[in-house]
Amino acid sequence: MAEQYFSPNQQEFIRKRRQIVGEDRIRQVEQHEWPTLIAEVKAEMDKGTDPSSDRVKDLARRWKGLVEEFTGGNARIAQGVARQYREQDPNPAQRHGMPLTREMFEYIGKAMEGI
C-alpha cells in the first residue's frame, strides 16, 4: 500500500526515519500516546466542543507533535500519511484498534487550522 501514497524516495525516508525514532518509541506512541490522544479528541468531539476551543487546540498541538516526530517535519510525508488515513477503510489506526474515524480526522484538522 505504501507505493500508492509515497514515492520510492519518500518510502526510503520513512524507513530511515523509523530507524531514527526507534522501535521502542514507535511502540510506546502506538500503544499509549495515540490511543490516549484519540480518546481525548473523541471525548471533546462527542461533547460538541468547538474545534477552535483552547482545549481542542491543545490536543491538536499534541497530535501535530506526534505526526512531526514520525515524519521528521517533512510536509509531503505528513500529507501522504493524512491521505492514507482518509482513504483507507479501515484506516491504519483502526487496524491497530484505535477508533480514528474520518469525522474525527476532519475535526482535529479544523483545530489545526488555527495553530
Q: Cα–Cα–Cα angle for 5, 7, 80, nearest 5°? A: 35
pLDDT along the chain (115 residues), means of 10: 86 95 94 93 96 97 94 93 79 73 89 88
Q: Where are the domains of the chain?
A: 2-112
How does DSSP assign 53-111, residue by residue?
A: SHHHHHHHHHHHHHHHHHHTT-HHHHHHHHHHHHHSSS-HHHHTT----HHHHHHHHHH
Find the helix or strand (DSSP H, E) in which 115 lies.
none
pTM of the model: 0.85
